[in-house]
Structure 1
Amino acid sequence: MHEQDAGPPPIGGAIRQRRQRLGMTLKDLAAASGLSVPFLSQVERDQAMPSLVSLAQIASALDVETGYFIGVPSPGQIVRRADAPEHLHVGTSPVDYVRLSGSHAERRMEALHMTVPPGHASPISHREGEGFWYVLEGTLDVWVGREHFTLNAGDSAHFEQRHPYRMRNDGTTPVRMLWVGTPALL
């Protein structure tokens, strides 16, 4: 089923997100693009539509192509097919990581299917953002800060990853789990 074309997509949010991701203020963007702060503010709020020349100036200042703001992601950037998994290799870790999230450039979230072998214990980690773990099969011991939790199939944990965390599979079978977190991995 296809929806009718609703006209050009609003681009203000995409410009604002890219600017903020780069740590730029509106004033920084104005200086880099040669456009005024009030105009850029209106564009970001979708109250003004930039000309192609202005959009090219904004794109250049934000180090992207103009298509970044007006192009629709390809199906391959949106959908992951089971018959074409993307396995991630993380150092010498024996954990099997399969990316579930899309591959579009501005994703802010990552989703992985993880298979943790019996006896594996992860090192203590921390990073900015949130983490969500959902155990599909097996039993996983998890530590967040000084707190210890045992997660069984159907259990989940959701926490700020700035706190030290680690996990261990003390069982005799692999643990299959989902991890969803922010920010996205590279």
Structure 2
Amino acid sequence: MKDNLAQIPGRIKELREIMEISAMDMARDIAIPLETYAKYESGELDIPISALYNISAKLGVDATVLLTGEDPRMDTAAVCRSGKGVRVERYPGYEFTSLAYNFKGRTLEPLLVYLDPAKAAAAPVTHYGQEFNYIVEGTVKVTVGVREYVLDAGDSVYFNAGIPHAQSAVKGPAKFITIIQEGAH
């Protein structure tokens, strides 16, 4: 997947240019500084998943197109076999696997997230909609705004994703399922 990850900025730039959207208009419409957007498109900065969703919405494509270069194909059911999802390392120590990448028109994004406590925690993010986290393995600290929740395997949290939030592993590697509501702009 690392090859696909390196190709995401190029896919974004190509689609943006095909649609005749200027970088300035794209940055404005997804509410980020032009300099930051330019670094996303050049590959100098990792693109946060929330920005990836906003970019894909502006381009009128599924986020899967940006991640894999292919359109989702399923519209009745999409099975994701163990270990077969689209896996992306978004930040050092924060890696996710898309579990429904091949379903067309999805409004929820289920992800299996792996956290490595040996790496620095990712900065808080915000995005539209709501988010649900279910801890599968280990202990995860979920920060939502100024509140911190320490969750163990079997625990869950549901929150407004418009509030700055972050997850980090506590006492060793951790794994959780997150379900993010998409398209709620």
TM-score normalised by the shorter chain: which range applies?
0.5 to 0.7
Given that residues 77 and 103 in structure 1 are in contact (C-alpha distance below 8 angstroms), is that contact kept between their aligned partners in structure 2?
Answer: no
> After the TM superposition, which residues 84-95 of structure 1 pair with which residues of structure 2 at under 5 Å, given as runs?
84-90=84-90, 92-95=91-94
Shift of 1:77: 6.5
Larger Rg: 1
- Hey, what does 1:167 align to over in structure 2? 167
Q: Compute the TM-score of the two structures, normalised by the length of structure 1.
A: 0.53
Is the Cα–Cα contact under 8 Å of residues 99 and 112 in structure 2 kept in the other structure? yes
Q: Which runs of 5+ in 2 are unaligned?
A: 1-59, 62-72
The aligned residue for residue 131 of structure 1 is 131
Q: Who is 2:152 aligned against?
A: 152
| Cα displacement (A) at 1:102 | 4.3
* 1:135 alignment partner, SS class: strand
RMSD: 2.5
Give the 5 Å matches for 1:10-159. Answer: 74=74, 78-90=78-90, 92-119=91-118, 120-159=120-159
Runs of 4+ in 1 over 6 A off after TM superposition: none
1:153–1:83: structure 2 CA closer, same or farther, 3 Å change rule? closer
1:57-116 deviation line (CA, Å, top 9, x unaligned) = xxxxxx99xxxxxxxx548961112252321242x4332211112423311100011110
Q: Which has more strand, going by share of residues? A: 2
Task: Return the letter of the residue paired with 1:179.
Answer: T
Alignment coverage as a number of residue pairs: 112
SS at 1:142 equivalent: strand
Over 3 Å counting, the alpha-carbon distance change for 1:93 and 1:76 in structure 2 is: farther
Report the equivalent of 2:50: none
* Partners of 2:135 and 2:83 in 1: CA distance: 22
Shift of 1:133: 0.3
Where in structure 1 are there 5+ consecutive unaligned residues? 1-62, 65-72
Amino acid at match of 1:168: S
Give 2:179's aligned residue: 180
Shift of the 170–162 alpha-carbon distance from structure 1 to 2, 3 Å rule, reads same
Identity %: 23
TM-score normalised by length of structure 2: 0.54
Using the TM superposition, give the Cα deviation of residue 146 of structure 1 relative to its aligned residue in structure 2, in angstroms. Answer: 1.1
After superposition, what is the alpha-carbon deviation per residue over 1:18-50, rounded to whole angstroms, capped at 9, x for unaligned? xxxxxxxxxxxxxxxxxxxxxxxxxxxxxxxxx
2:86 touches 2:101 (CA, 8 Å); kept in 1? Answer: no
